[in-house]
Amino acid sequence: MEIIICGFGGQGIVRAGYILGYAAAVMEDKESSFVPSYGPEARGGECASRIVISNERIDYPFITTVDILIAMAQPAYNKYIEYLKPGGIILHDEDLVKPDERASKASEIYSVPATRIAERLGNRIVANIVMLGFFCAVTKIIGYDAMKKAVEAGVPARFKEINLKAFDKGYNYGLEVIGKDKRKALAVQ
């Protein structure tokens, strides 16, 4: 499974990629690789996390075709949509990304109010964790307990509480979305 999480520096894109890779490798004993990339700007520059998850040994850690694109900023979506394979899945922050005709090759497109949910929790910086919760609920690639433990291990101690709340909000929102349309319940393996 090849996954790209993309957005701007300051949105926690690299941390989200690390947490996802950690959940797969450490919490679920799967093979995982994580390759972050970002511009020289600390905040505001484009960044991405490339994660490969497999039940078998990973021979090549770089993404060639994306199974799942998680986009949290329009310029990042514009850059990485080209890598989405036909039948791939798009998860995007509905207030920050507007998919275009290039998204028609996706089998599923999920609009997630990640930033809005994070703002309601009191800090928009946890939108990345909201998105990981949603991802966990709709894809089933990583189990709930493993991902939640990875979130807890992957964030600074003083921010654990809000991040765990953000994860649960995203996860529950994902359950609501797939509950409304049983056809959308995925079991990506």
Q: Is 160 within 8 Å of 180 (Cβ atoms)?
A: no
Q: Quick check: pTM over 0.85?
A: yes
For residues 63-101, one letter each, b for 16 or more C-beta atoms within 10 angstroms of the residue's C-beta and e for the rest, the string is: beebbbbbbbbbebbeebbebbbeebbbbbbeebbebee
Which helix (H) or strand (E) segment is 8 a member of? strand 2-8
Q: Is 23 within 8 Å of 129 (Cβ atoms)?
A: no
pLDDT digits (tens), the chain, 189 positions:
999 999 998 899 999 999 999 999 999 999 999 999 876 555 667 899 999 999 999 988 888 899 999 999 999 999 999 999 999 999 999 999 999 999 999 999 999 999 999 999 999 999 999 999 999 999 999 999 999 999 999 999 999 999 999 999 999 999 999 886 554 544 443
Is the CATH code 3.40.920.10 the one for domain 2-184? Answer: yes
DSSP 97-135: ----GGGGG-SEEEEE-HHHHHHHHT-GGGHHHHHHHHH
Cα distances (Å, whole numbers) of residue 100 to 80, 119, 183: 13, 26, 23
Cα distances (Å, whole numbers) of residue 121 to 41, 93, 96, 161: 27, 16, 18, 11
Q: In what order do the strands lie in the sheet with 2-8?
A: 31-38, 46-54, 2-8, 66-71, 84-93, 108-112
DSSP 45-92: SEEEEEEEEESS--S--S-SSEEEEEESSHHHHHHHGGGEEEEEEEEE
Q: Domain residues of the chain, as ranges?
A: 2-184
44: left (phi over 0), alpha (psi -120 to 50) or beta: left
Per-residue model confidence as pLDDT tens digits over 163-180: 999 999 999 999 999 886
